[in-house]
Amino acid sequence: MTEVFHIPYGDHPSQFGVLRMPALSGLSPVVITIHGGFWQSKYGLEENDPLVEDLTRRGYATWNIEYRRVGEDGGGWTGKFIDVIDAVNHLTQLEERFQLDLSRVVILGHSAGGHLALWLASRINKVQTGEIGNTLLVPIQSVISLAGVSNLRKMWEVHEEKGQISHAASFIGGSPQEVSERYRLASPIELLPLNVEQILIHGELDRNVPVDLSVEYHRRAIEQGDKVRLVVLPEVEHFVVIDPSSSAWKSVTDSLETSKGSSRY
Q: How far is CA 265 from CA 30, 222, 233, in A?
A: 12, 22, 27
Enclosing domain of residue 244: 3-260
| Residue 262 scores a pLDDT above 50 | no
Domain total of the chain: 1
| Residue 33 scores a pLDDT above 80 | yes
- CATH assignment of the domain containing 69: 3.40.50.1820
pLDDT of residue 129: 45
Determine, yes or no, domain membership for 191. Answer: yes
Judge if the upstream peptide bond of residue 193 is cis by omega within 30 degrees of 0. yes
Question: Which of 28, 38, 34 has the alpha carbon at shortest distance from 51?
Answer: 34
**Average of per-residue pLDDT across 24-53:** 95
Determine, yes or no, domain membership for 256. Answer: yes
pLDDT of residue 127: 54
What letter does residue 128 receive in the DSSP assignment? -
Given pLDDT bands bounded at 50, 70 and 90, which one contains residue 258? confident
What confidence tens digit (pLDDT) does each residue in 11-25 have?
999 999 999 999 988
Among the ranges given (19-23, 80-84, 254-258), the one the predictor scored with the smallest mean pLDDT: 254-258
Among the ranges given (70-79, 208-217, 255-264), the one the predictor scored with the smallest mean pLDDT: 255-264
Determine, yes or no, domain membership for 144. Answer: yes
Residues ≥6 apart with Cβ < 8 Å to 103: 139, 141
Determine, yes or no, domain membership for 82. Answer: yes
Given pLDDT bands bounded at 50, 70 and 90, which one contains residue 164? confident
Residues ≥6 apart with Cβ < 8 Å to 78: 132, 133
Q: Contact, 97 vs 61, CB < 8 A?
A: no
Determine, yes or no, domain membership for 265. Answer: no
Q: Contact, 185 vs 131, CB < 8 A?
A: yes
Mean pLDDT of the chain: 93
pLDDT of residue 58: 95
Determine, yes or no, domain membership for 212. Answer: yes
Given pLDDT bands bounded at 50, 70 and 90, which one contains residue 29? very high
Q: How far is CA 136 from CA 83, 132, 150, 211, 242, in A?
A: 11, 11, 20, 29, 26
Given pLDDT bands bounded at 50, 70 and 90, which one contains residue 183? very high
SS3 121: helix
Determine, yes or no, domain membership for 176. Answer: yes
What confidence tens digit (pLDDT) does each residue in 94-153 have?
999 999 999 999 999 999 999 999 999 999 866 554 568 888 999 999 999 999 999 999
Determine, yes or no, domain membership for 207. Answer: yes
Helices (H) and strands (E) in the chain, counts: 9, 8
